[in-house]
């Protein structure tokens, strides 16, 4: 039996067993199990130790010039999604773009992830009917921004001559709607950072006063107040990008301009007709009409992407916090994953440290229940990795302040009986984990359904889902609390042996990430037999010293090549260039372990 000794000068040594009550100061346990909100808040500890693992997931925006080295750093810092657009790219450029991302994930998986394929979802962001500015033209070679000072003046034009020649005096926008404006109408640039007031309208340009000034970069968003952009289907360009995304096997597609469930269903039918049935479709809530129909949209979508900057243009900044609470709470109740984009940490575009308002913004999104925080600043900042590290730290601080017991109780009360057995046992799993303060929940699953239901009810600990299907692993990695492990070892003929091997892999991974230590309690979910349909068997056990022992060098050498070859067969070998790169990496690792690469 494992135990540890803890003593002070004035006290006798005290034997601490794994099943003893956790340290309340470290776990905020006293606050989590209070009977009312005021007692919960008043019992939070400023010096309480936050968990080493971030439960809220992080998404980063990437540009076509992204490098595999940067993707490796994102993986090392726990980024679960990369969001990209195919705007202005040819099919060949799109292929090279996606392959660069996948190569970075592959390299990280081999070098730093114990050769476990890292589950990072590839997310295609469709453009929709956006209005944007042109590209900045400056005399300084390294300067990519211009300043529009407050109380200054600027011309806004749709003359294509100025598309790549935007200056402090004249800004190009991709819309003819500006010529319909009248005096005193307002134009918002870069999600409202810059506000222009129309003075006069000429034949091909609008003369404006800069009501609120700021720096402006290339190809920033434009919102024209009072002139909504209404569409009933995807544009031809978006449809073509969807086809390319399906060809490149992206995991998630963000659908812009969703105004009702009918619009979303039409898009979903188009994607399915193009053989994209295995791709999750997330509805962008970026307009007030869609917000009014939020219930039916959430039911139809695989997930929700809350686009706060666009919403704030229509609702006003003073009401956007309320819209965030409404959308995220409804997603939690209906059990759909939510991604929140709010211009988080934008102050780090030019600074190494964020503004205090940005800090509060991230934490409040976590407290409101978002599954994922989307950082677009990583496309512009020189401190991309630092932005991710800072966001992850803020998420952990926010998670520590959540009233977890009450949150589970309220979510549980929303589940209407009778419910299916998979749902019922998952709820029981979360309740047991809260009662016994489990350090982790390990779920052996095929599709990820059981793991998603467990994560839906917000346990206090990470949920580690071990799957054989890489696509499923990447798609569920968006959920809060979920850590998806893609298991690629050969299937054992004996089901219990297969479960044991997967469980050992999860425990060793958790040890490396600092999730599990000797004496921690694990809640284990699995099928009682193969092809049972859902995880219907729950057990608890403590982590012993033997469970965390490192595999011998000989054993690792024996299994290395087998796992690499399986990864190569099951992943991104469609493109010859990436396949050759993978083969080169395989040979390097085989040489390190002195293993022959011959079949």
Burial category of 260 from C-beta neighbours within 10 Å (exposed 0-12, middle 13-18, buried 19 and up): middle
**DSSP of 311-343:** HHHHH-GGGHHHHHHHHHHHHHHHT--EEEES-
Contacts of 242 by beta carbon, 8 Å cutoff, 6+ apart: 124, 126, 234, 253, 270, 271, 274, 276
pLDDT surpassing 50 at residue 524? yes
User: What tokens appear for 419 in the block?
Assistant: 């419910």
In the numeric block, the tokens 């609470």 are attached to 325
Burial category of 273 from C-beta neighbours within 10 Å (exposed 0-12, middle 13-18, buried 19 and up): exposed
Rg (CA), the chain: 26
What SS3 string covers 336-351?
CCEEEECCCCHHHHCC
* Model pLDDT, residue 157: 93
Contact, 136 vs 165, CB < 8 A? no
Q: Which residue has the higher pLDDT, 529 or 592?
A: 529
Mean pLDDT of 398-413: 91
pLDDT surpassing 80 at residue 142? no
Q: Which residue has the higher pLDDT, 222 or 3?
A: 222
CA atoms within 13 A on the CB side of 506: 30
Q: Which residue has the higher pLDDT, 280 or 314?
A: 280
In 126-260, which ranges are E strands? 145-148, 153-157, 170-172, 186-189, 194-201, 205-212, 214-217, 222-224, 252-255
CATH of domain 405-548: 3.40.1380.20
Q: For 212-270, write each residue's pLDDT tens digit.
A: 999 998 888 888 866 656 566 788 889 999 999 999 999 999 999 898 999 999 999 99
Angle at CA 302, nearest 5°, toward 451 and 294? 120
In the chain, the percentage of residues whose pLDDT exceeds 90 is: 53
Number of H helices, E strands in the chain: 20, 23
- pTM of the predicted model as reported, rounded to 2 decimal places: 0.81
* Model pLDDT, residue 419: 87
- Mean model confidence pLDDT for the chain: 85
User: What tokens appear for 2 in the block?
Assistant: 């494992």
Strand 153-157 with 205-212, pairing: antiparallel
In the numeric block, the tokens 């009401």 are attached to 319
Mean pLDDT of 109-119: 88
Contacts of 32 by beta carbon, 8 Å cutoff, 6+ apart: 40, 403, 404, 405, 460
* Model pLDDT, residue 554: 40
Predicted confidence band of residue 352 (pLDDT cuts 50, 70, 90)? confident
| 133, 166, 204, 206, 559 from 159: Cα distances, Å | 12, 11, 7, 11, 63
Calpha distance 138→121 (Å, rounded): 37
Calpha distance 117→104 (Å, rounded): 11
* Model pLDDT, residue 558: 45
* Model pLDDT, residue 574: 45
| 372, 378, 413, 473, 560 from 460: Cα distances, Å | 17, 29, 18, 21, 34
Predicted confidence band of residue 549 (pLDDT cuts 50, 70, 90)? low
Please give the distance of CA 479 from its chain centroid, rounded to a whole number.
8
User: What tokens appear for 195 in the block?
Assistant: 């506000």
Architecture, CATH, for domain 145-224: Beta Barrel (2.40)
Mean pLDDT of 303-327: 91
pLDDT surpassing 90 at residue 364? yes
* Model pLDDT, residue 141: 64
Buried b (16+ CB within 10 A) or exposed e, 514-548: ebbeebbbbbbbbbeeeeeebbbebeeebbeeebb
List residues bridging with 122 in a β-sheet. Answer: 82
pLDDT surpassing 90 at residue 580? no
In the numeric block, the tokens 């467990």 are attached to 454
Calpha distance 548→518 (Å, rounded): 7
* Model pLDDT, residue 562: 54
Calpha distance 294→283 (Å, rounded): 10
pLDDT surpassing 50 at residue 598? no
Predicted confidence band of residue 550 (pLDDT cuts 50, 70, 90)? low
Q: For 187-215, write each residue's pLDDT tens digit.
A: 989 888 899 999 999 888 999 999 999 99
Instruction: Give the SS3 label for residue 59.
Output: strand
In the chain, the percentage of residues whose pLDDT exceeds 70 is: 85
Most confident listed range (162-171, 325-334, 540-549): 325-334
Contacts of 92 by beta carbon, 8 Å cutoff, 6+ apart: none
pLDDT surpassing 70 at residue 588? no
- In this structure, of 37-51, 210-224, 575-589, the range with the lowest mean pLDDT score is 575-589
pLDDT surpassing 90 at residue 278? yes
pLDDT surpassing 50 at residue 280? yes
* Model pLDDT, residue 592: 40
* Model pLDDT, residue 415: 86
Mean pLDDT of 381-388: 90
Mean pLDDT of 46-63: 88
pLDDT surpassing 80 at residue 590? no
Predicted confidence band of residue 20 (pLDDT cuts 50, 70, 90)? low
Predicted confidence band of residue 557 (pLDDT cuts 50, 70, 90)? very low
Most confident listed range (131-140, 157-166, 247-256): 247-256
Most confident listed range (128-142, 344-358, 425-439, 564-578): 425-439
Mean pLDDT of 572-588: 52
Give me the residue spans of the domains in the chain.
145-224, 405-548, 553-592
Calpha distance 319→410 (Å, rounded): 25
């Amino acid at each position: 039996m494992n135990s540890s000794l803890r003593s002070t000068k004035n006290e006798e040594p005290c034997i601490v067993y794994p099943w003893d009550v956790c340290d309340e100061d470290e776990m905020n346990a006293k606050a989590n199990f209070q009977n009312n909100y005021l007692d919960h808040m008043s019992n939070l500890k400023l010096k309480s130790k936050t968990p080493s693992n971030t439960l809220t997931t992080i998404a980063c925006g990437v540009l076509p010039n992204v490098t595999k080295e940067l993707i490796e750093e994102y993986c090392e810092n726990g980024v679960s999604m990369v969001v990209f657009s195919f705007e202005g790219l040819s099919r060949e450029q799109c292929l090279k773009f996606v392959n660069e991302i996948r190569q970075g994930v592959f390299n990280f998986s081999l070098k730093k992830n114990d050769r476990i394929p890292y589950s990072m979802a590839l997310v295609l962001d469709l453009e929709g009917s956006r209005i944007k500015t042109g590209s900045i033209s400056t005399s300084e070679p390294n300067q990519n921004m211009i300043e529009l000072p407050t109380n200054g003046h600027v011309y806004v034009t749709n003359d294509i001559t100025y598309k790549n020649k935007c200056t402090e005096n004249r800004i190009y926008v991709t819309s003819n709607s500006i010529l319909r404006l009248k005096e005193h109408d307002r134009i918002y640039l870069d999600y409202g950072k810059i506000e222009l007031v129309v003075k006069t309208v000429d034949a091909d340009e609008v003369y404006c006063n800069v009501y609120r000034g700021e720096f402006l970069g290339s190809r920033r968003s434009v919102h024209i107040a009072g002139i909504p952009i209404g569409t009933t289907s995807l544009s031809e360009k978006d449809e073509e990008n969807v086809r390319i995304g399906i060809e490149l096997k992206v995991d998630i597609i963000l659908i812009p301009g969703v105004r009702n469930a009918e619009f979303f269903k039409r898009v979903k039918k188009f994607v399915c007709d193009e053989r994209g049935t295995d791709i999750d479709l997330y509805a962008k809530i970026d307009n007030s009409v869609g917000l009014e129909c939020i219930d039916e949209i959430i039911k139809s979508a695989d997930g929700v992407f809350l686009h706060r900057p666009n919403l704030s243009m229509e609702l006003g900044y003073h009401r956007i916090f309320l819209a965030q609470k409404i959308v995220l709470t409804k997603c939690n109740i209906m059990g759909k994953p939510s991604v929140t984009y709010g211009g988080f940490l934008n102050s780090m575009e030019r600074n190494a440290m964020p503004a205090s308002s940005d800090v509060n913004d991230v934490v409040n999104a976590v407290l409101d229940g978002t599954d994922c925080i989307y950082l677009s600043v990583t496309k512009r900042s020189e401190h991309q990795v630092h932005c991710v590290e800072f966001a992850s730290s803020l998420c952990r601080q926010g998670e520590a302040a959540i009233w977890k017991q009450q949150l589970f109780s309220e979510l549980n009360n929303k589940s209407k009986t009778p419910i299916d057995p998979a749902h019922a046992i998952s709820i029981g799993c979360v309740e047991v984990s809260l009662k016994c303060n489990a350090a982790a929940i390990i779920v052996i699953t095929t599709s990820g359904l059981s793991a998603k239901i467990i994560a839906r009810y917000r346990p206090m600990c990470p949920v580690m889902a071990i799957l054989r299907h890489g696509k499923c692993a990447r798609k569920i990695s968006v959920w809060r609390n979920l850590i998806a492990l893609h298991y690629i070892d050969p299937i054992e003929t004996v089901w219990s042996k297969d479960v044991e091997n997967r469980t050992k892999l999860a425990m060793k991974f958790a040890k490396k990430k600092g999730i599990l230590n000797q004496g921690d309690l694990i809640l284990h979910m699995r099928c009682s037999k193969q092809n049972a349909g859902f995880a219907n068997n729950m057990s608890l056990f403590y982590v012993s010293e033997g469970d965390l022992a490192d595999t011998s060098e000989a054993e690792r050498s024996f299994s290395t090549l087998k796992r690499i070859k399986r990864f190569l067969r099951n992943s991104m070998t469609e493109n010859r260039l990436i396949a050759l790169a993978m083969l080169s990496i395989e040979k390097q690792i085989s040489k390190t372990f002195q293993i022959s690469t011959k079949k």
